[in-house]
Amino acid sequence: MEPLRTSDPARVAEYRLLRRLGAGGMGVVYLARSGAGTLVALKLVLEEYAEDEGFRERFRREVATARRITSPWAVPVVDADPEAAAPWLATEFVPGPSLAEAVTAHGPLAQPGLRVLGARLAEALHAVHTAGLVHRDVKPGNVLLAVDGPRLIDFGIARAPEETTLTATGMVVGTPGYLSPEQARAGEGPSVGAPSDIFSLGCVLAFAATGRPPFGTGAPDALMFRAVHDPANLDGVPQDVAAVLRGCLEKDPRDRPTAGEVRAAFEGDRPVPAPAEGTGGAPDGTPEAEPPAWLPEPVVRLIAERSASVLELPDIDATEVDAAAVPTAGAPTEAAAEAAAPPGRRRLLLLAGAAAVVAAGGGLAAWAVTRDDGPPATTAGGLPVYVLGVHADLTGDRKDIGRAQERGVRLAVEQFNARTDRPFTLSVRAEDDRGDPAEAARAAQRLADDRSVLAVIGPTTDATAAVSLTTYDTALLPVVAVSPGAISLSVQGHKSFFQARPQDSILGFYLRAFLLGTARARTVGLIDDRKADDYAWELCGPLSKLLREARRPSVPKVVSALQTDFAAVLDELTAAGIDSLVFAGYHDRAALLARELHDRRFTGARAAAQGVLDERFLSAAGAAADGWTIVAPATDPSVQPEGRKFAAAHRGRFGTAPHWYAAEAYDAAGLVTSALRSLPAAQRSRARLTEAIRAVTYRGITKNFAFDPATGALRIDGSGVFLWKVSGGVFQYAGPAPYQVPV
């Protein structure tokens, strides 16, 4: 939840707005309270869209559609006014995380939880289908978790199967990675009916069981292609659950079970109880003291924390309880006027319910008290001290990059502290995750729990970032990552995450410019190494499309993760007449390919991305590494005019030249420091710093830093990606990588 802004209204109809829950291009969702004390999630449409009659009609449809769904596992509509000047829709408020957030932060669900999740979501979809509708966007982000069961949300694009308003040929409606084959074909195949939701349900349950979508991640067109043609990856799914999912994920919609059949398959002889009357998972009902075992304990704790946070909301005062027992937070003048009225029973139930959840979660009342940043420590001279966290792999597989990032941050902090005009002092706290995702989650929690830490630089890898970001987001702790590049990290909606480098999927533009410009390639071979999974797709998918748009032939080949001999695939590529090659994979497999190409005396361009910028590629490939070109978001500052001073300072401080990503981390620390300096002393908090980082423009030695204020995405201006070439058995810096093909 975020505080209200000065531009936000105080009320909508009878509902008092309390906090922002989220915002999109067409409206804002608020946490609001009715006059009777009921908490709701209120979606308010921006007035400029309300003036569009077509948009207003679609909003009327959403309201009418949601009201047709009657299931305890679908979030119900509480109130709505589609005819208001700014149309709005209020639904029951569920304080729990989404399934996407919970699994990303705390791992897959165990078998009992999967069966409960599958049965109850199937029951919700049965209600949707019985009403003659198709949800069309069943995904982990549209499933909220409460202690008594999941809730299906967002019926904004639900339609009757025969309605074609949103299903014109060529228009894809839904979320890639969870789309059915008929949705991916965009009107060119079977119609989108109830079986489409069953396919999406299978994808959601596969994600809940493994922590990954069954068709991977990557470019949308790649995901849709896999949904239509590739088998789902169900490795790691419990056997009995996998048997149900295989039916859900049949390519032909006629072969899939109905929602009722899915529910029966999951329940078997063990029916799942209905939710207790009056709870519904909202904080104005009292959850059971012993929550069902379908959720792991950390997720129950997270629900407890969010329920407890309601105690801090304006005008939720314990006026029927001894004031000494329940502290009352200050409230705005308008709220104080309402508080003078006799409180209803619902308000007392709200307090009791939240307290019960805290007791169930175990010792979480302190979260509500300590979540705001306390006063900083001070130096002997009276300057406040703020801490920058470094979350890195310092002793594991990528310790070379992790240590480089730590050194870059420490050097930036030492240089700042040496300034006589500094308004504050900085300190560094480093946490080593050893490159292990499980340890990364613990490292993130340690940094989040240290209230003196105002920002974090890191983590080092995609895998460690994936398990850490929810923890940082929950703590409102801004995190600036300079080496992880997966697109999946940025699409989860983490408000405090800044991916301060071009994503892997963007590197295709630089590879295209190199191939068509410098290399003068005519026919390009693309090797997608399945061992690299999403990383390979994010490189190959966009690059293949870019080459196709440039009318330059490409020959894509997929290599099994178990295959160690590239001879067969190179035979096929050679027969196709390739004169250049791009490998989408990591250093170890690139070395195998390099040796095979060397033995064949292949002299064409050989290119890869940062997954091959690794000293181990050089040692494993030997002489065969020479001639390879690498596109990577890491520079050598010692050969750049603006970076030489940094490189000299690094050598003087640490006795060695800066390694890859040291300069990028140095810039990240400078970015955070610049944003922190822009804030008045009274506003130097995690939340305010997150806003300031979104707003600041910072010119570093590696690139220009500017983020989209709405999404936090790095604005791409062509800078920040560089060429490296292997010559004489070493990586040699070759300057900024071109973004456009020279004319």
Contacts of 431 (CB under 8 A, 6+ apart): 389, 390, 391, 392, 443, 444, 446, 447
Whole-number Å distance between alpha carbons of 440 and 215:
25
Whole-number Å distance between alpha carbons of 204 and 382:
53
Alpha carbon distances (Å) from 427 to 212, 463, 477, 647, 671: 37, 27, 16, 22, 15
| pLDDT recorded at residue 633 | 96
Q: Phi/psi at 428 (nearest 5 deg)? A: -120, 135
Residue type for position 66: A
DSSP letter at 97 equals P
**Which fold is adopted by the domain 505-632+723-736?**
Rossmann fold (3.40.50)
Pull the structure tokens for residue 366: 């302190």
Domains of the chain, by residue range, sit at 1-93, 96-295, 297-370, 377-502+639-712, 505-632+723-736
**Residues in the chain, overall count:** 743
At 615, is the secondary structure helix, strand, or coil?
helix
Whole-number Å distance between alpha carbons of 492 and 483:
18
Burial 581-613 (b: 16+ CB within 10 A, else e): bbbbbbbbbbbbbbbbbbeeebebbbbbbbbbb
Whole-number Å distance between alpha carbons of 148 and 116:
10
User: Quick one: CA torsion of 274, 278, 280, 281, rounded to 10 degrees?
Assistant: -120
Matching CATH number, 96-295, of 1.20.1250.20, 1.10.510.10, 3.20.20.140, 1.10.760.10:
1.10.510.10
CATH architecture of 1-93: 2-Layer Sandwich (3.30)
Whole-number Å distance between alpha carbons of 567 and 135:
47
Q: Which of 408, 421, 438 is nearest to 381 (CA)?
A: 421
Burial 345-361 (b: 16+ CB within 10 A, else e): ebbebbbbbbbbbbebb
| pLDDT recorded at residue 164 | 43
Rounded to 5°, angle at Cα 527 from 526 and 529: 150
Would you say 303 and 146 are in contact if contact means Cβ atoms under 8 Å apart? yes
Which one from 79, 137, 148, 528 is the annotated catalytic residue? Answer: 137
Taking the CA atoms of the chain, what radius of gyration do you get in angstroms? Answer: 27
Burial 467-502 (b: 16+ CB within 10 A, else e): bbbbbbbbbbbbbbbbbbbbbbbbbbebbbbbbbbb
**Which fold is adopted by the domain 377-502+639-712?**
Rossmann fold (3.40.50)
Is the CA virtual torsion 213, 216, 218, 224 positive or negative?
A: negative
Number of other CB atoms surrounding residue 132 within 10 Å: 12
Whole-number Å distance between alpha carbons of 219 and 225:
10
Alpha carbon distances (Å) from 382 to 2, 235, 373, 420, 424: 31, 57, 19, 13, 9
Axis-axis angle for helices 297-309, 99-106 (nearest 10): 120
| pLDDT recorded at residue 336 | 31
Would you say 220 and 537 are in contact if contact means Cβ atoms under 8 Å apart? no
At 705, is the secondary structure helix, strand, or coil?
strand
How is the chain split among helix, strand and coil, in percent rounded to 5? Answer: 40, 15, 40
Number of other CB atoms surrounding residue 697 within 10 Å: 11
Number of other CB atoms surrounding residue 242 within 10 Å: 17
Q: Which helix (H) or strand (E) holds 509?
A: helix 507-513
Whole-number Å distance between alpha carbons of 136 and 138:
6
Would you say 635 and 702 are in contact if contact means Cβ atoms under 8 Å apart? yes
Residue spans of the chain under pLDDT 50: 157-159, 162-173, 269-292, 315-372
Whole-number Å distance between alpha carbons of 69 and 67:
5
DSSP letter at 159 equals B
Residue type for position 351: L
579 is known as an active-site residue? no
Whole-number Å distance between alpha carbons of 721 and 738:
8
Pull the structure tokens for residue 708: 């989209």
Whole-number Å distance between alpha carbons of 580 and 308:
59
Q: Which helix (H) or strand (E) holds 707?
A: none
Contacts of 77 (CB under 8 A, 6+ apart): 63, 66, 67, 89, 90, 91
Residue type for position 140: P
Number of H helices, E strands in the chain: 25, 23
Would you say 19 and 4 are in contact if contact means Cβ atoms under 8 Å apart? yes
Q: Same topology for domains 377-502+639-712 and 505-632+723-736, yes or no?
A: yes
Would you say 409 and 668 are in contact if contact means Cβ atoms under 8 Å apart? yes
Would you say 719 and 704 are in contact if contact means Cβ atoms under 8 Å apart? yes
